Amino acid sequence: MKPSIRLPRQLANTLLRGLRAPRWSGKFFTKASLQKFRTPVYLSLMGAAAITGTSFKKKLPLTPDAITRNSYTVVVTKSKYEMKVYDSTGEWLVTYPVVFGNKDMGDKLMEGDRKTPEGDFHIASKRKHEKWNSFMALDYPTRESYQKFNERKAQGLIPANARIGGSIGIHGTWPHEEFAIDQYQNWTEGCISTKNQYIEEIFGLLPVGTTIQIKR
C-alpha cells in the first residue's frame, strides 16, 4: 500500500533521518498530529510537497459518534519495533515507534518473563496513568492465550506451577525518559510502550474494542 505523501523516498529519508517520529500516510490527522506541522521537519515536508507539486489527501478523523470498534486496526510488529494503524478498508494511516519488555522477541510464555504476547487482542479499557501518561489495557489472556499456555505446560516448556500473567497494555514512558523509544530500549514488563505524545494521539482516537494484532 502506497502512502499518500508521495515524496521521493530519498528526500523523505533525508528529512527524517535520525528521528524516530511517526510516519504518516497523509490521511491520519488528529488535533495533536496537526501540531507537528509547526516543527521544522514537518514544515520542510510541507514545503517539499509544494515544490514537487504533490499534495496531501486529507482524510479527517471520524467524528466521535461515528467511530466504532471496527473503525481502526492496530498491527504491532515486534521485530520492527513498530505499531501501525489502519482504517476499516485496510489502508495504512500511520506508524509509531514502540519498544517492549524482554529483548527476546518470542511469544509470552508465563507471568514474569517480560515478553509481549502474540496474537489477536482488543482494547479492553482505557485510563490515564499516573506513571506512563495513558494506559490502554488489552484483553490478554484470551482463550487462544490459555490454549497455548496449557499446551506449553503439558510439553514441559514452562514450570507446572507457572501462571499465565496479565495486565498487558499499550502505554507511554516515564516522564523525561522517552529516549528509551529512540534508543530501542526494551524496558517494560511485557507491555508495548511508545512516546507520551504518541500514546495521547491514539488514546483519544481508538475506542474500547479496537483490534490489536501483535506479531513477531
CB count in 10 Å sphere of residue 114: 18
**CB proximity list for 211: less than 8 A, separation 6 or greater:** 69, 70, 73, 74, 120, 121, 122
Global confidence as pTM = 0.73
Q: What value does the mean pLDDT take over residues 50-76?
A: 63
* CATH number given to 64-215: 2.40.440.10
All CATH 2.40.440.10 domain ranges of the chain, comma separated, are 64-215
Cα–Cα distance between 103 and 20 in angstroms, integer?
A: 19
User: Residue range 158-166: average pLDDT?
Assistant: 96
Whole-Å CA distances, 109 to 45, 123, 157, 159, 183: 43, 21, 9, 10, 26
Quote the distance between the C-alpha of residue 87 and its chain's center: 14
Reported as a single tens digit per residue, the pLDDT across 3-52 is: 233 334 443 443 344 445 677 665 444 444 434 433 333 333 333 333 22
Task: Calculate the average pLDDT of the chain.
Answer: 79
pLDDT tens digits, one per residue of 108-121: 999 999 999 999 99
